[in-house]
Chain A
Amino acid sequence: MRVTHNMIVSNVLSNIQGNLSRLEHAQNQISTGQRYSKASENPTAVARIMDLRSSESRVEQYRRNADNAVAWLNATDAAIQSAGDAVQRARELAVSGGNDVLPQEEREAIAAEIDQLLAQVIDAANSKFNGSYLFSGRLTDTPAYAAGAPPTFQGDLNGIEREINDGVKIQINSAGPDVFASSMQVLTDLANDLRSNDGPAIRGRIADIDAAQDELLAQGSIVGARTNRIETQQDRLEASQVSLAHLRSQDEEIDMVEAIVRFNSEETVYNASLQAGARIMQPSLLDFLR
C-alpha cells in the first residue's frame, strides 16, 4: 500500500490520542478511587452498586433504629427496676407493719412511707425517654399516670414499633397497666390497711405484693427478651453492613495496586507512541537530498 505523510500523521495522532485517553482514564480511576464514573462503563455493575449502596444506607438506618430501641428498652428496664425496688421495700414494711404489737402511730408512719413508695412507682411509670412517656402507649406526650388512690392511667394500650431489619418490626413499649397496675393497687391498699390498723389485712397484702413483684419481674423479662432479640439483630446488621460494604467496594472501588500498574504501563505506551511518532513524522526525502 502506498503510504503518505498525511496517513502517518493521522495514524500517529489517532494512536497517541487513544493512548492518552486510556492514560487519562487510568489516572481518573486512581484519583477518584472509583472504577466507574458513568453507567455505560458497566451498566450491570453500576445497577448493582446502586442497589448495594441503598441496602447499606438502609442497614445503617436499621442500626440507628435498633440503637434507639435498645436505649428505649433500657430506660423501660430502669423504670421497672425502680418500681421493683419500691415494691420490695413495701414488702419489708408490710412484714414489719403486720406485727400487731405496733401501735397505730407507727402504722400511720409506715403508711406515709408507703405513700412515698407509691409516688416512686408513679414516677417510674411516668419515665420519659427522649421526651416521650414510656408507658403511655401512643399518647407519648401525656404522663402515664395521674396521682390518686389508686393512680389513674391516662395513656392508651397501643403498641409502638421499631423497624430493625427488612420486615422485622418489634414492639418496644410496655403498656402502663400491664406493668404497674398491680403494684399501684397493692400499695394503695396496703396504705389503707395500715391506716385502718387492720393487722390480718396487712399480713394478707404480702401475698398481693409478691404477685405484684412477679408481675414486674415478668414485664422486666419481656423487656430483656426484646433487648436480646434486638441485640441479635444488631450483630446481624453489623455483619451485613461489613459484607455489603465489601461487596460494593469490589464493584465500585479500584484495586490501587492494579490501577497503578496499569497506569504505569499506559504511560509507557503513551511515551513510546510519542517517541515513535516524533521519529516517523520528522524526516522526508528532503532531509537527504544534497
Chain B
Amino acid sequence: MRSTFTGIETAMRAINAMQLALDTTTHNIANANTPGYSRQRVELSASDPYTKPAMYRIPQPIQIGTGVNIDGITRARDFFADRQVRTASGELGNHETAVRYYNRIESLINEPSPNEFAGQLDRFWNAWSDLSLDPSDLSARTVVLEEGARIADSMNRTMTQLSELRTDAATEIDFVVSDVNDMAQEIADLNRDIRKLVGIGQTPNDLMDRRDMMIDDLSRMTGASATYQADGTVDIMLDGRALVSGFTTDPLQTQAAGGGNVNIVWSSDLAAVALPQSELGALQTMNNTTIPDIQSDFNSFFNGLTAGVNTIHQAGYGLTDPAGPPPGRDFFVLTAGTYGVNPALVSDPALVGAAQNPGQPGDNSNALVIANLATAKSTNGGTTTFNEHYGLLVAGIGSDARRATDAAANQGAFVSYLAAQRESVSGVSLDEEVANLVKYQHAYEAAARALTAADEALDTIINRMGLVGR
C-alpha cells in the first residue's frame, strides 16, 4: 500500500527538478557569451516505480510512478571536435605568427616604392654617370658621396631592423614559454580540483570548461595534445612527453644556442623539444632560421655590392693624386658592422676615383666603369646585376610571405569551420534556452498545482472526513 503523501512527495520532487532546470537554463543564458562555456543540461529520468518487483514482495496488480529523478548536470561537449579544433589551431597559430613577422619584414623593405633601396641604388649609379659627364666638377663628386651615404644608411637600417626583429622574436619566445608554463601549472591545479570533485561523484562542468579552454590556448601556442584520463584529469602531451601529467608539470624553458639561436628544452633534463606547428614553433623557426637566412642574404648582397664598388674604386685616381700606382682607396667602409662612405673622400671629394690615370682631370673612365655596375652581371655568381639581385631578394621574401598569408587564410577558414561544428554542439542558443525557460516554468507551475491538488485532497481527508452529524 502506498503512502498517503505520495502525491506531495512526487510534486515536491518535480518542483525541485524544474527549479534546478530553470536555474541551469538561467546559468546557460548568463554564460551565453562566455568564451569556452559549454551549455549545460539537467539530466532527468523517471524515478523507480512503486512497487519494484523483488523476491519477497507481494506483487501488486499495478505499478505507480513516483516522479522525477535528477541524475546530474552534464555539459554538451564533443571531444572529437575538440581534438580537431586543437590540431588545426596549432597550425593556424603557426601560419598567423609567420604572417605577423613577414608583414614586418615586408614593411621594413617597403618595396615597390621609388624611394627605397632599389631606387636609391639606381640614383647611386646615375650619380656616377653624372660624374662621368664632368669628372672635375666637385659638386658632381659630392652628389656621388651623398648617394653613397644614403645607400650605406639604408643598408645599416635594414640590417639593424632585421636584428631588432630577431630580438623581438627571441623576446616573444620567452613570453610564450612563460605563458605556456603558467597554463600548464593551472591545468595541473585544475586537474587536482576536478579529481577531488569527481572522486565524490560530482561533475565540475565549469572547471572542465575552463580547463578545456586553456588546453585550446595551449595547443594553439605549442601544438600540444590532450589525453583525458578516467579519473577526470587530463595529460598534456608535447613532442611525445608529458607537459602536464596529473597534478605535476614539466615546464619548458629557453636555452640560448650559438649565434642568437634559441632552443626550447624541458626543465627536468634539458632535452630539446621538437615543437610541432604552433605559435611557439613558428617563433622558433623565425628566430633560428627565417630571419637569420634573410639577414645572411642581405649581408652577402650588401658586402658584394660594397666590395664590387670598392674593387673598381681602388683602381681609380682622385683629381689630386700624383703619378704612380693608384692610391687604392675604398669607397665604402665597414666599421664595427656599420656601412659608411670612406671619410677621407667625404672630407676631400677631389679624392673620389673617377679617373684611371693620374693627373688627368678629364679622365672619367673609372666613373664610367662604376656606373656600368648598373648593368654588369657582377653578382650571384655573375648571373645578375646588383639591382636584379636585390629584386630577387625582395621577390623571394614576397613569395614566402604570400605563401604564409595564403596558408593562414586557408587554415583560418578551416579552423572557423571546425569551431562552428564545435559551437554547434556546445554553444548556448538563446532561442532554445528561452523555449526551455517557458517549458520548465510551465512544468514548475503545474507541479505546484499538483501539490495544491494533493494538499486539498488531504484537507478533505483530515479536516472534513468523519464529521457526519456533528
Contact of B362 with A139 in the complex, beta carbons under 8 Å: yes
Does B91 sit at the interface, judged by CB under 8 A? no
Does B244 sit at the interface, judged by CB under 8 A? no
Contacts of A3 in B (CB 8 A): 424, 429
Contacts of A286 in B (CB 8 A): 430, 434
B106, closest chain A residue (CB):
A38
Contact of A50 with B402 in the complex, beta carbons under 8 Å: no
Contact of B430 with A57 in the complex, beta carbons under 8 Å: no
Contact A53-B424, Cβ < 8 Å, known A40-B102, A131-B137, A138-B361: no
Does B428 sit at the interface, judged by CB under 8 A? yes
Q: Closest approach, in angstroms, between the C-beta of A53 and any C-beta of chain B?
A: 6
> In the assembly, what is the distance between CA of A136 and CA of B192, in Å?
96
Q: Which of A79-87, A154-162, A209-217, A259-267 contacts B (4 or more CB under 8 A)?
A: A154-162
Q: Closest approach, in angstroms, between the C-beta of B120 and any C-beta of chain A?
A: 11
Contact of A54 with B122 in the complex, beta carbons under 8 Å: yes
Kindly identify, within residues 102 to 135 of chain A, every residue whose CB is under 8 Å from any CB belonging to chain B: 130-132
Q: Which of A4-12, A174-182, A185-193 contacts B (4 or more CB under 8 A)?
A: A4-12
Name the contact of B114 in the complex, choosing from A14, A46, A53, A139 (C-beta under 8 A).
Answer: A53
> In the assembly, what is the distance between CA of A177 and CA of B355, in Å?
23
Q: Closest approach, in angstroms, between the C-beta of B233 and any C-beta of chain A?
A: 29
Contact of B360 with A44 in the complex, beta carbons under 8 Å: no
Name the contact of B112 in the complex, choosing from A7, A36, A57 (C-beta under 8 A).
Answer: A36
Contact A6-B136, Cβ < 8 Å, known A14-B416, A39-B394, A46-B398: no
Contacts of A39 in B (CB 8 A): 106, 109, 111-112, 394-395, 397-398, 401
Contacts of A77 in B (CB 8 A): none
Name the contact of A44 in the complex, choosing from B134, B368, B395, B427 (C-beta under 8 A).
Answer: B395
Contact A50-B423, Cβ < 8 Å, known A5-B430, A6-B33, A43-B402: no
Does A51 sit at the interface, judged by CB under 8 A? yes
B386, closest chain A residue (CB):
A54
Q: Closest approach, in angstroms, between the C-beta of B364 and any C-beta of chain A?
A: 6
Contact of B360 with A47 in the complex, beta carbons under 8 Å: no
Q: Encode A243-280 as 1/0 by CB contact (under 8 A) with B.
A: 00000000010000000000000000000000000000
Q: Closest approach, in angstroms, between the C-beta of B85 and any C-beta of chain A?
A: 14
Contact of B424 with A50 in the complex, beta carbons under 8 Å: no
Q: Which of A61-69, A88-96, A200-208, A223-231 contacts B (4 or more CB under 8 A)?
A: A61-69
Contact of A138 with B357 in the complex, beta carbons under 8 Å: yes
> In the assembly, what is the distance between CA of A1 and CA of B78, in Å?
14
Q: Which of B201-209, B235-243, B369-377 contacts A (4 or more CB under 8 A)?
A: B369-377
Does A198 sit at the interface, judged by CB under 8 A? no
Q: Which of A22-30, A145-153, A163-171, A233-241 contacts B (4 or more CB under 8 A)?
A: A163-171
Q: Closest approach, in angstroms, between the C-beta of B326 and any C-beta of chain A?
A: 16
> In the assembly, what is the distance between CA of A44 and CA of B106, in Å?
15
Does B420 sit at the interface, judged by CB under 8 A? yes
Contact A65-B133, Cβ < 8 Å, known A41-B402, A58-B126: yes
Q: Identify 13 new A-B residue pairs, CB closer than 8 A, beyond the known A169-B368, A284-B434, A285-B435.
A: A14-B416, A39-B397, A43-B394, A46-B112, A50-B387, A51-B387, A61-B125, A64-B129, A132-B136, A132-B362, A140-B135, A140-B362, A284-B430
Name 16 A/B residue pairs within 8 A (Cβ), A-sorted: A3-B429, A4-B424, A6-B423, A39-B106, A39-B394, A40-B402, A51-B388, A54-B122, A57-B122, A64-B129, A136-B362, A138-B363, A140-B361, A141-B362, A284-B431, A285-B434
**Which residues on B are within 8 Å of A, measured CB to CB?**
32-33, 102-103, 106-107, 109, 111-112, 114, 118-119, 121-123, 125-126, 129-130, 132-137, 355, 357, 359-365, 368, 371-372, 374-375, 387-388, 390-392, 394-399, 401-402, 405, 416, 420-421, 423-425, 427-431, 434-435, 438
**Which residues on A are within 8 Å of B, measured CB to CB?**
1-7, 10-11, 14, 34, 36, 38-44, 46-47, 49-51, 53-54, 57-58, 60-62, 64-65, 68, 130-132, 136-141, 156, 158, 160-163, 166-167, 169, 173, 252, 284-286, 289
